[in-house]
Amino acid sequence: MISQNTVTKLYNDILGFPDHGKVASYIPELANVNPDKFGVFLKPVYSEGFGVGDFEEKFSVQSIAKVFLLALAFRKKGEDLWERLGYEPSGTSFNSIVQLEYEKGIPRNPLINAGSIVMCDILIDILENPKEDFLQFVRKLAIEDDIQYNETIVTSESKTGYTNNAIVNLLKAFGNIHNDIGEVLDFYYHICSIEMTCRQLAGTFQLFANNGIVPHTQERILDISKNKRINAIMQTCGFYDEAGEFAFKVGLPGKSGVGGGIIAILPHQYTVAVWSPKLNSKGNSYKGMRFLEHLTSETVSSIF
Ligand code: GLU
């Protein structure tokens, strides 16, 4: 079992390292965050867990929320989901368009922007009130009601989302978006704008470490096969074109977001959330990556 002392020591070590990252500024509102924030929360399955640093402060989870979107879409659509998108790593950046053109509008995987935008379209067809129903789903996984969309971030991203506009238009041209593109993007931006603390994030991801069951309520959200597949997708596609590097250095399934958060999962053992807003050149938290690399190496707790 990893102790709080070990996590605190690693946190303090990484805190002292020079941080060569830069806060994301292509969504203007994200640039307003204090770049020196750094929080960690580790939650063993079926236990309360512990945090260090800014672990009770909310931040924009951004692409991390794509995993909740995948869980809900996969739960509702089953294997039919794969008629509209793939599950192979893209090897390209989160908002790349090139692949989408030569693969005729079928996104490589659910965790790049194109894949998540298609999942939003799918859920708009299925859910009665997509934004409200999605938020309720996340609150159920978190076992907390204090989780909201941030409308200021939604507005900020909608005003500057030129690349996502290009993606949704290309998808529509290939027939892989059925609804109004404005409605689809609005849903997508809301999902990305969710704010959580490291403690909430580690809690919300517990089901993925626990065969698809939320530990503290015993509710089964995903069957074992779907849960296994979502972990596999996080492992191979969770870090944009740095998924190989994350597997190589950290060795856990996980997902990052441009808000500087990273969640990682050691199946049957624990979930760990890290937040530090400065990003490396691939869009992943610079300190977060280093912290997790040290954590899994020093405690010998990766899946490999
Ligand atoms: N909302 C962000 C975008 O669409 C998400 C990017 C990310 O966190 O990777 O650009």
* 37-88 tens-digit pLDDT: 999 999 999 999 999 999 999 999 999 999 999 999 999 999 999 999 999 9
Q: Whose CA is nearest to atom 2 of ligand 1?
A: 62
pLDDT (0 to 100) of residue 205: 98
Strand extents, DSSP E, 58-125? 59-60
State how far the Cα of 63 lies from the Cα of 157, in Å rounded to an integer: 13
State how far the Cα of 280 lies from the Cα of 265, in Å rounded to an integer: 21
Ligand 1: does its nearest atom lie under 6 Å from the Cβ of 69?
no
Ligand 1: does its nearest atom lie under 6 Å from the Cβ of 257?
yes
Ligand 1: does its nearest atom lie under 6 Å from the Cβ of 60?
no
Burial class (CB in 10 A: 0-12, 13-18, 19+), 300: exposed
Residues whose CB falls within 8 Å of the CB of residue 200, separated by 6 or more in sequence, listed in order: 142, 144, 146, 147
Ligand 1: does its nearest atom lie under 6 Å from the Cβ of 95?
yes
**What sign results for the dihedral spanned by CA atoms 232, 235, 239, 240?**
negative
Q: For the whole prediction, is pTM greater than 0.95? A: yes
pLDDT (0 to 100) of residue 241: 87
Q: Which atom of ligand 1 is nearest to the CA of 64?
A: 8
Q: Which atom of ligand 1 is nearest to the CA of 94?
A: 9
Ligand 1: does its nearest atom lie under 6 Å from the Cβ of 253?
no
State how far the Cα of 141 lies from the Cα of 203, in Å rounded to an integer: 8
Q: Which atom of ligand 1 is nearest to the CA of 240?
A: 9
State how far the Cα of 73 lies from the Cα of 51, in Å rounded to an integer: 31
Do 276 and 215 form a contact (C-beta atoms < 8 A)? no
Ligand 1: does its nearest atom lie under 6 Å from the Cβ of 256?
no
Distance from residue 237's CA to the centre of ligand 1 (Å): 14
Count of beta carbons in the 10 Å neighbourhood of residue 176: 22
Ligand 1: does its nearest atom lie under 6 Å from the Cβ of 164?
yes
Closest by CA to 198, choosing from 267, 264, 138, is: 264
Count of beta carbons in the 10 Å neighbourhood of residue 88: 11
pLDDT (0 to 100) of residue 20: 87
Q: Whose CA is nearest to atom 4 of ligand 1?
A: 113
pLDDT (0 to 100) of residue 1: 81
Ligand 1: does its nearest atom lie under 6 Å from the Cβ of 156?
no
Among 62, 239, 284, residue to substitute to test ligand 1 (most atoms within 8 Å of Cβ) = 62
Distance from residue 65's CA to the centre of ligand 1 (Å): 10
Alpha helices in 127-179 (DSSP H): 130-142, 151-160, 162-173
- The H helix count followed by the E strand count for the chain is 13, 11
State which residues of the chain have pLDDT below 50: none
Closest by CA to 188, choosing from 134, 138, 117, 127, is: 117
